[in-house]
């Protein structure tokens, strides 16, 4: 037994003692292959998963390095069966390779012939393959490159894609760094992506993922298609690229509900690309309108199924995914791995906070009681109606008033799910509200007024979950959400994490109705915050009324 900071358990969980002198060193060593599950105060829990181990293998780490790391930092002997499983799991990656054959084009090559024989007998694999050239090689139609990778990972045999990329149409893209310099982690993230080929960069909201995109574009020097969540995000990307690069306004096009511009750099929204007409997606043709050298997927964790399907067809293009969290509530993380690429860079939120690049955050859950008459209505309600009844209890309005009063003079976002609830809160606070029905022009006007301090309180629906740059937002009050979505929790916390001019702490409140599914869903959402190392304080509504704001 040694005095290491890590406990490696046979169920593939890794427990890291935070206070140990070697914990930081150990955390960095295990980060490439272990998935962080929970990060409360004293013990952080990681898990070894096939996807995490294959991510590490794709990034150049071999089983010997992983095993050596586990043994070196473990306090107790590492279970022998776990070490064997790590080696066997990682050895599955790359037994099959997608490569370019000079005579036959794209082929699937087997390092292990038995594995090839196994997958050829799969009913889902066989239709994706062409003629078998010899014992180890089968022709693959280029359009099936992504579909084959998806199918192989589901069989547990992830293929290493060494077929390379087309350069795409050349287009000069230079950074304009006269008044700014990229941060070290942004450069590392862009380099990790570029030299890895394709893949995903995970950075907290407010840490400058757009800068990583600009750096990647400067490395590619090619026409670029950027996919974003909405028109407001598209225009923020455009403004940021004009500020950070030497691109001109004429070189950047917007492809959205209101504009259909195709330029050397084109920013398109997921909504317009996934709009159906007579059963087809006519706007997906934007992928084919130019010989793109780089495709950037902003908020890749939100990627809609039609974009996944089309991405499977364009595996010869370099692909960069940007996100604050790879958590997908639909469990399609393996599709992100196979179609966009493996995780190339991941920086913990608290690490970026420690460097001063995002604001420290105080996270508070305020628990309210449902009024007695409403409790009986809730108890008798159908299951599908219970969350709405609990989330929209009028008791929350009084709490909002008191929290805003406590943070007088600060910029406050009130965020919710239900439009009638938001309209009621907007009228109660005499504050403007932004929903999906608010025009783009009006959204931009209100966001700008908020940035400039003309508006101190803004009520917003889930449209504010994504890619909205509000640097001075210091307080977020969450009153309802998309059930138990950890993904949404990450986005909403991110709205207040931009570093403040005076270095002050951001505050993130969730008002939750006690003894209801509202509280159950809150626990699930909070898992994301625990995973990132944020502690959640729980405050009773009575404490708020009595102004007992300990730690606030």
Do 245 and 380 share a structural domain? Answer: no
For 8-29, give the DSSP string: E-TTSEEEEETTSTTHHHHHHH
Do 73 and 128 share a structural domain? Answer: no
Residue 173 lies in a domain: no
Residue 179 lies in a domain: no
Residue 406 lies in a domain: yes
Do 345 and 284 share a structural domain? Answer: yes
Residue 166 lies in a domain: no
Do 488 and 394 share a structural domain? Answer: yes
Residue ending a domain, among 353, 377, 395, is: 353
Site of tokens 């998309």: 482
Does residue 126 register a pLDDT over 50?
A: yes
Mean pLDDT for the stretch of residues 498-516: 83
Residue 536 lies in a domain: yes
Please tell me the distance from the alpha carbon of residue 117 to that of residue 106, in angstroms, as a whole number: 19
Enter the pTM of the model.
0.82
Please tell me the distance from the alpha carbon of residue 205 to that of residue 200, in angstroms, as a whole number: 15
Measure CA of the first residue to CA of the last residue in the chain; give whole Å. 43
CATH of the domain at 287: 3.40.50.300
Do 143 and 108 share a structural domain? Answer: yes
Residue 262 lies in a domain: yes
Closest CA to 493 of 501, 485, 344, 442: 485
Does residue 118 register a pLDDT over 90?
A: yes
Does residue 251 register a pLDDT over 90?
A: yes
Do 331 and 416 share a structural domain? Answer: no
Segment among 54-68, 388-402, 453-467 with least mean pLDDT: 453-467
The rounded mean pLDDT for the chain is: 87
From residue 438, give the alpha-carbon distance in Å to each of 354, 444, 460: 37, 10, 10
% residues pLDDT > 70 (the chain) = 92
Mean pLDDT for the stretch of residues 485-501: 71
Mean pLDDT for the stretch of residues 231-237: 89
Q: Which residues contact 215 (CB under 8 A, 6 or more apart)?
A: 175, 182, 186, 187, 189, 190
Residue 377 lies in a domain: yes
For 381-404, give the DSSP string: S-HHHHHHHHHT-THHHHHHHHHH
Do 324 and 384 share a structural domain? Answer: no
From residue 210, give the alpha-carbon distance in Å to each of 142, 223, 462, 471: 31, 16, 21, 15
Do 302 and 444 share a structural domain? Answer: no
Segment among 341-355, 410-424, 455-469 with least mean pLDDT: 455-469
Q: Label the pairing between strands 96-101 and 160-161.
A: parallel
Please tell me the distance from the alpha carbon of residue 448 to that of residue 458, in angstroms, as a whole number: 11
Do 236 and 191 share a structural domain? Answer: yes
Q: Is-contact 379 551, C-beta < 8 A?
A: no
Q: State the pLDDT confidence band at 75, using cuts at 50, 70 and 90.
A: very high
Between 542 and 64, where is the model more confident?
Answer: 64
Q: Is-contact 352 497, C-beta < 8 A?
A: no
Residue ending a domain, among 92, 120, 153, is: 92
* pLDDT of res. 1: 58
Q: What is the pLDDT of residues 334-367, one digit of tens each?
A: 888 889 988 888 877 778 888 888 888 888 889 9
Does residue 211 register a pLDDT over 70?
A: yes
Residue-wise over 322-331: b if at least 16 C-beta within 10 A, else e? Answer: bbbbbbbeee
Q: State the pLDDT confidence band at 330, using cuts at 50, 70 and 90.
A: low
Q: The tokens of 334 are what?
A: 């393996």
Identify the domain containing residue 532 by its residue range. 359-545
* pLDDT of res. 464: 67
Q: What is the pLDDT of residues 3-52, one digit of tens each?
A: 899 999 999 999 999 899 999 899 889 988 998 777 677 888 899 999 89
* pLDDT of res. 391: 87
Do 489 and 380 share a structural domain? Answer: yes
Mean pLDDT for the stretch of residues 428-447: 89
Do 375 and 477 share a structural domain? Answer: yes
Residue 169 lies in a domain: no
Q: How many domains does the chain have?
A: 4
Do 320 and 264 share a structural domain? Answer: yes
Q: State the pLDDT confidence band at 552, using cuts at 50, 70 and 90.
A: very low
Residue ending a domain, among 353, 387, 405, is: 353
Question: From start to end of 330-398, where are the E strands?
Answer: 343-346, 361-368
Pairs from 15-19 (Cβ < 8 Å, separation ≥ 24): 15/43, 15/44, 15/45, 15/46, 16/43, 16/44, 16/45, 16/46, 17/42, 17/43, 18/42, 18/43, 18/44
Site of tokens 């192989």: 152
Please tell me the distance from the alpha carbon of residue 108 to that of residue 129, in angstroms, as a whole number: 8
CATH of the domain at 127: 3.30.70
């Amino acid at each position: 037994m040694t005095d290491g900071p890590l406990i490696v358990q046979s169920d593939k969980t890794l427990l890291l003692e935070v206070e140990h002198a070697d914990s930081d060193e150990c955390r960095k060593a295990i980060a490439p292959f272990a998935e962080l599950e929970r990060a409360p105060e004293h013990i952080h829990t990681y898990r070894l998963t096939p996807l995490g181990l294959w991510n590490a293998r794709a990034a150049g780490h071999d089983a010997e390095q992983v095993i050596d790391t586990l043994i070196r930092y473990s306090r107790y002997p590492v279970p022998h069966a776990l070490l064997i499983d790590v080696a066997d799991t990682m050895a599955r990656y790359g037994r099959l390779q997608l490569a370019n054959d000079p005579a036959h084009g794209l082929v699937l090559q087997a390092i292990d012939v038995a594995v090839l024989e196994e997958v050829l007998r799969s009913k889902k694999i066989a239709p994706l393959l062409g003629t078998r050239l010899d014992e180890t090689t089968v022709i693959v139609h280029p359009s099936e490159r992504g579909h084959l990778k998806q199918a192989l990972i589901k069989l547990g045999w992830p293929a290493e894609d060494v077929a390379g990329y087309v350069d795409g149409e050349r287009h000069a893209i230079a950074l304009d760094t006269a008044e700014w310099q990229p941060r070290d982690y942004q450069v590392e993230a862009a380099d990790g992506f570029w030299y890895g080929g394709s893949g995903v960069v995970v950075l907290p909201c407010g840490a400058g993922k757009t800068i990583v995109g600009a750096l990647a574009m400067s490395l590619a020097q090619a026409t670029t298609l950027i996919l974003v969540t909405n028109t407001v995000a598209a225009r923020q990307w455009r403004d940021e690229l004009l500020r950070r690069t030497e691109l001109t306004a004429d070189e950047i096009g917007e492809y959205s509900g209101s504009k259909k511009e195709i330029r050397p750099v084109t920013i398109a929204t997921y909504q317009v690309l996934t709009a159906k007409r007579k059963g087809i997606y006519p706007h997906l043709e934007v992928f084919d309108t130019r010989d793109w050298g780089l495709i950037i997927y902003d908020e890749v964790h939100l990627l809609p199924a039609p974009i996944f399907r089309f991405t499977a067809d364009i595996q010869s293009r370099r692909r960069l995914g940007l996100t604050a969290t790879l958590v997908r509530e639909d469990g399609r993380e393996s599709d992100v791995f196979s179609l966009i690429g493996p995780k190339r860079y991941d920086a913990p939120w608290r690490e970026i906070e420690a460097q001063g690049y995002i604001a420290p955050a105080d996270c508070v859950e305020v628990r309210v009681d449902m009024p007695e008459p409403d409790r009986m209505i809730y108890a008798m309600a159908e299951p599908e109606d219970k969350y709405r009844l609990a989330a929209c209890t009028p008791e929350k309005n009084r709490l909002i008033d008191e929290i805003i009063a406590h943070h007088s003079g600060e910029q406050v976002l009130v965020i919710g799910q239900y439009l009638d609830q938001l309209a009621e809160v907007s009228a109660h606070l005499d504050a403007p509200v932004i929903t999906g029905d608010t025009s783009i022009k009006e959204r931009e006007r209100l966001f700008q007024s908020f940035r400039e301090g003309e508006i101190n309180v803004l009520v917003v629906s889930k449209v504010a979950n994504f890619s909205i740059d509000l640097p001075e937002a210091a307080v977020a009050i969450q009153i309802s959400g998309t059930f138990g979505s950890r993904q949404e929790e990450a986005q909403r916390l991110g709205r207040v994490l931009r570093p403040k001019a005076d270095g002050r702490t951001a505050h993130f409140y969730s008002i939750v109705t006690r003894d209801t599914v509202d509280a159950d869903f809150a626990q699930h959402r909070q898992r994301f915050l625990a995973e990132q190392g944020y502690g959640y304080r729980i405050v009773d509504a009575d404490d708020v009324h009595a102004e007992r704001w300990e730690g606030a």
